[in-house]
Amino acid sequence: MSGEPLLSVRGLKKHFLVRRGFLGASSARLRAVDGVSLSVREGETLGLVGESGCGKTTLGRAILRLLPPTAGTVRFRGRDLSELSGSELRAVRRRMQIVFQDPYGSLDPRMTAGSIVAEGLAIHRIGSRSERRARADALLERVGIPASHAGRHPHEFSGGQRQRIGIARALALDPEFIVCDEPVSALDVSIQAQILNLLADLQSERRLAYLFISHDLRVVEHVSERVAVMYLGRIVEEAGSKDLYDRPGHPYTRALLAAVPIPDPERKRVRIILPGEIPSPMNPPPGCPFHPRCSIARDRCRTEVPILRAPSPGRRVSCFFAEDYEGAPAAEG
């Protein structure tokens, strides 16, 4: 844990104005990402988990400036992305790539696999046409697609193969950081494992850093050194993967972990059933956003917003009463 992190995000917000009422007469503010700070070091994986609507996908896109942030800063190798000129930003962006969830929707159906992979090189005017083709072939081979298939179109590939092509595309510009947004969620279990292994191999070969976004807690535990948990646009807990899964500090993390079905019929089938559902990010509850569903909520939680604090080294948690859980195992109800 030394030196400047590769990526450093401070107070990032992304709000959307949502039109409501007759012909959009009024508007409401949807706080998709509401003040997130995190950092990712070279070659490491930070897992980002949360349920649908928690803002994890928006956060990934706001970091890459695929969506312009409402507030906050994103620094990559110490440089604030919002202060860069157009050409400087393009140069930094080569180092930051994304792999999308949907291997069906994220590849242009009219392009060949080879041209999809080479497109970024062409946009950045790197190499001659034949050099780009050779590089695309090599990348396809590396991700497990025979170069002889470079002339095929996306529909000629299976879901897993399409995700491999999406990964090859992300690698084309030699990135240092990749946002992996639910990269295996649309895939069958047997194919998921292949892609997770591929991502791990590429990471060690190329010293890649990943922000690995997923709703699947088992997958995130498997791939991440550190894990951040999001709820209603904010990070509610962040810790080393083992710490977080062994001793979750936030009641939401505990509930989330307890809800994951364990593939072992011999285990006692006891679990916390978290009541209710995620509130709308247009109208978040006052105080701690989790308090309406929290089993240990007290009066203070209903009025005062808990800040993300560090009760022990390497852990951040936004719960007034996280210490009540210290040392408690995760799985029991």
Asked if 32 touches other proteins (CB under 8 A), the answer is no
Q: Which stretch binds other proteins (CB under 8 A): 4-12, 82-90, 175-183, 260-268?
A: 260-268
Kindly tell me which of 99 and 121 has the beta carbon lying closer to other proteins.
99
Residue type, 137: D
Could you tell me how far CA 310 lies from the centroid of its own chain? 22
Asked if 259 touches other proteins (CB under 8 A), the answer is yes
Pick from 111, 208, 101: nearest CA to 163: 101
Asked if 200 touches other proteins (CB under 8 A), the answer is yes
Half-sphere exposure of 283 (CA within 13 A, CB side): 3
**Both tokens of residue 153?**
């179109």
Asked if 239 touches other proteins (CB under 8 A), the answer is no
Kindly tell me which of 65 and 222 has the beta carbon lying closer to other proteins.
222
Asked if 20 touches other proteins (CB under 8 A), the answer is no
Kindly tell me which of 64 and 145 has the beta carbon lying closer to other proteins.
145
Q: Residue 266, class by beta-carbon neighbours within 10 Å (0-12 exposed, 13-18 middle, 19+ buried)?
A: exposed
Strand order in the sheet with 96-99: 96-99, 177-181, 209-214, 45-49, 226-231, 234-240, 315-317, 309-312
Kindly tell me which of 120 and 233 has the beta carbon lying closer to other proteins.
233
Kindly tell me which of 25 and 273 has the beta carbon lying closer to other proteins.
273
Q: Which of residues 288-317 bind other proteins (CB under 8 A)?
A: none
Query: Do 48 and 64 contact (CB within 8 A), yes or no?
Result: no
Asked if 248 touches other proteins (CB under 8 A), the answer is no
Asked if 153 touches other proteins (CB under 8 A), the answer is no
CB of 30 to other proteins, least distance (A): 16
Helix intervals (H) in the chain: 56-63, 86-93, 113-123, 129-142, 159-171, 189-206, 217-223, 241-246, 251-259, 299-303
Q: Which stretch binds other proteins (CB under 8 A): 9-17, 109-117, 272-280, 294-302?
A: 272-280
Q: Which of residues 34-93 bind other proteins (CB under 8 A)?
A: 51-52
3-class DSSP state of 178: strand
Kindly tell me which of 74 and 232 has the beta carbon lying closer to other proteins.
232
Asked if 173 touches other proteins (CB under 8 A), the answer is no
Pick from 77, 18, 10: nearest CA to 38: 10
Kindly tell me which of 145 and 168 has the beta carbon lying closer to other proteins.
145
Q: Which stretch binds other proteins (CB under 8 A): 76-84, 121-129, 168-176, 185-193?
A: 185-193
Residues 275-278: contacts with CB within 8 Å, 24+ apart? 278/51, 278/52, 278/53, 278/54, 278/231, 278/232
CB of 219 to other proteins, least distance (A): 6
Asked if 268 touches other proteins (CB under 8 A), the answer is no
Residues lying near other proteins in the complex (CB under 8 A) are found at 51-52, 158, 160-161, 188-194, 196-197, 200, 215, 217-219, 221-225, 241-242, 245, 255-256, 258-267, 269, 271, 273-275, 277-278
